Structure 1
Amino acid sequence: MIERSREVLSDLYPELAVPGGLREALAGEAARTGHGGGPMDPVEGYDPAVAACGTCGETRFAVYATNVEEREFRIEISAESGRPWGAFGSTDDLAVVNAILHAWRDGASIDQLRREWTLLAADPLDAAPPGRVVSTAWRLTLERSPLIRLGDAELAEALYAQPTLRVFFPFPSHGQFSLLTSTRDPFYEEVPRVVPSGDGLWNVVLEWSRWSPEIPSRVLGSRLGAREAAALVAANVPAGSGPAIEGGWPHPAPRHR
């Protein structure tokens, strides 16, 4: 879980820097608007100051204030089946969160909520504000959110610890961990990927790509720990690479960025 300080709360989320944090702030907003409603609960694995959730039958409404770079209340609403997908949103306005929460408590369906508030989307990354898809993907990855594909936790943290790599889109799949230069298909992969070698160790591999057919696949390092692998990836980022663009990589791929 990402470390966060009381100073960050005071600067970005002043209403949360009080006993009760986000839950108390939501209760106060509901009282101010006359919406009422029951109390929110803590979210397992999160600091109670920055996360809160409510349930109604099999549905769940959760709010997170875990972005330490910008003020952002991230909303997750499960579908009636209780599955983790439904509606996702992002806003810097606690009053908007309160309004959506009130409508949900009044029985509004996922479709109704998405029609009323266009900030809500069917996918958590689609709900990320423009320019913040990559940072949202990293945050969800590090928070071990079940909403996106997750790779090895230790490796993810090691890769993120390398500032050079944070600008790429994290894409774990089938045990491997790729860092992509586009956030949607067609994906562009110009950075070496990390693949398991067994016993919790990793190989760093530069994969052949249809975007760069003149560069052959080759292994850059074998049987490395997570930190060693991440450092080797960072040392082999091609000059001029990144940051990742939001959307698919334009076709045909340019020779140089």
Structure 2
Amino acid sequence: MTSNSPRPATPADADLYPDLAAAGSLAAALELAAAEQGLDLDVVLCNESDPLRSAGVASTAAGREPCWIFIGAESRWFNINGLRQGVQLLSGATSDLGELARAAAGWRNGAKLREIQKVAPFIEVSELAEAHERGPAAAVTVQWRLLLEDLRQEADRLDLARQTLELAEAASAEPKLRQLYPLTSHWSLHFTTCTGFPYSWDVPFVDPLRDGRYRICGPSRGTVIGEAETAEDAVALVLNGLPENCGPAVAGTANDRHPQ
């Protein structure tokens, strides 16, 4: 990660980060912490515009982007995150640079999330992240269950949540929609043919209306297909608007199929 016009680096607090101050950058300090444990991070990526506050480690595993580390400003924390095919799989925060190096090495070498967590317990591993590791079909199955569970928790409190729940339950009963990756945004229910962000916009989506009806739009945001009185009728309009050969959701992002 480089910049054509680097701005002056903001010094890290030497009291919080004496190891960074001594090494001269987060990347250099991370390399030293790895070497002390016999770990090889290859070349640690240095953010030239802010070398004391961020660094990255590339991965040899297919689909994994470099994981990036950022430091805390008011207390000693190293925050790490890593994406694979548009999904954040790696995340966590620790004050221990050595533990951070072990997590980065695991990400670099293609270790599974639970394997990384075993040597770096600060790493957070969610059920959905593990499902994404297993593949798109597993991610779709878990995402549907989690989405329905979340909506059921909100349905007694918010009318729009209740409407979206009715819609999601009707959609989940349709095999052609159950194989797509579902998500909500401002109570609208969306279906995407890929499991990573940015998501696809090739399937119609549904907005619950405050009068209890539903508006079906898409594939583009500004295109209105029609309105429906019931969740079942709304789902029928979505099914009628599916693109040809709309198969199961695949791993990756919309940009993988339609590069910018």
Shorter-chain TM-score bucket reads: 0.3 to 0.5
Higher helix fraction (1 or 2): 2
| TM-score normalised by the chain length of structure 1 | 0.45
Structure number with higher strand proportion: 1
TM-score (norm 2): 0.45
